[in-house]
Amino acid sequence: MKPTLLVLAAGMGSRYGGLKQLDEVGPNGEAIIDYSLYDAIRAGFGKVVFVIRTDFASEFKARFEPNLKNRIEIEYVYQSLDKIPSGAIVNPEREKPWGTAHAALMAEEAIHEPMALINADDFYGRKAYQVMSDFLNSSSDESEYSMVGYNVANTLSDFGTVSRGVCNTDAEGNLTTVVERTQIIREKEGIVYYEEDKRTLLDEHTPVSMNFWGLKPTIFKYLNEGFAEFIKDHGNELKSEYFIPLLINNNIIKGRIKTKVLQCDSPWFGVTYKEDKAFVQQRIKDQIELGNYPNNLWI
């Protein structure tokens, strides 16, 4: 059975100022998702499941379906604020859904095979999809997960702070901890992250998660359990989010899973702020000139 690609594309783009999932960055109007899908198809993925919102579903489908027809199976699931455990008490003034782990949970009924999970607005590179596909096709242990790791220095924005899952690994290359840091930035002294009033330096080669995870169907059991507990503790908050790295970290600590950090030399780049767009456009142009992609993906 071919693995599935789970694309988290329901974000509201509050820092970007719009739907970056659909923003055109390629020479013929391609979005970052187009390059992700192109790479996934080349790497042997058999289905893509998009997590989107109902308010832009028609626009989203019209944008991507014509190019994907007869190339890969497509399915959609929808993230919304009200898709929470029965009886959960939440703040009635909350406006946003509950983050990446909540988004992944929306795909429970759509995926029953090994999967790779990605962000819609991140460019991960062809080799990353191939090493992930190789892992998913070769690993038969339902408790063995993976992630593609990137050096933190290669994942920053020149225009503000970013959120990254900061990783530690053991001698065998397995994750020991992954902690979401939401305010990482390069300053004069080097790369730092802020947590409340504390400022901590990070080595430039620190591996971070860019939300490119290799998961097994067992993930949905852990998502259900973890999200129910998260809502119990944080349901009254307006902006708290349940992140994939938090879920993975908790289950590594409990000894339920092991997570292999997959190494490859693929480039990563993405759009967090509107000002990042020109940089991404140039990086894609560079990739085309290197022969890694055709000038028009879908002809």
pLDDT at residue number 16: 46
Are 246 and 101 in contact by the 8 Å Cβ rule? The answer is: yes
Are 238 and 93 in contact by the 8 Å Cβ rule? The answer is: yes
DSSP code per residue over 215-241: E-TTHHHHHHHHHHHHHHHHTT-SS--
Q: Can you tell me the distance from the alpha carbon of 260 to that of 27, in angstroms, rounded to the nearest whole number? A: 36
pLDDT at 18 over 80: no
Q: What is the mean pLDDT of the chain?
A: 92
Domain boundaries, the chain: 4-150+208-289
Are 115 and 40 in contact by the 8 Å Cβ rule? The answer is: no
Residues 240-267: tens digit of each pLDDT: 999 998 899 999 999 999 999 998 888 8
pLDDT at residue number 42: 97
Residues 44-86: tens digit of each pLDDT: 999 999 999 999 999 999 999 999 999 999 999 999 988 888 8
Q: Cα 16–18–129 angle (5° rounding)? A: 70
Domain covering 4-150+208-289, topology: Spore Coat Polysaccharide Biosynthesis Protein SpsA; Chain A (3.90.550)
Q: Count Cα neighbours of 187 within 13 Å in the Cβ-side half-sphere.
A: 12
Least confident of 11-15, 113-117, 224-228, 261-265: 11-15
Q: Is the pTM of this model over 0.85?
A: yes
Output the CA torsion 294→16→276→287 (10° steps).
-10
Mean local confidence (pLDDT), 114-130: 96
Q: Is residue 87 very low, low, confident or very high in pLDDT (cuts 50, 70, 90)?
A: confident
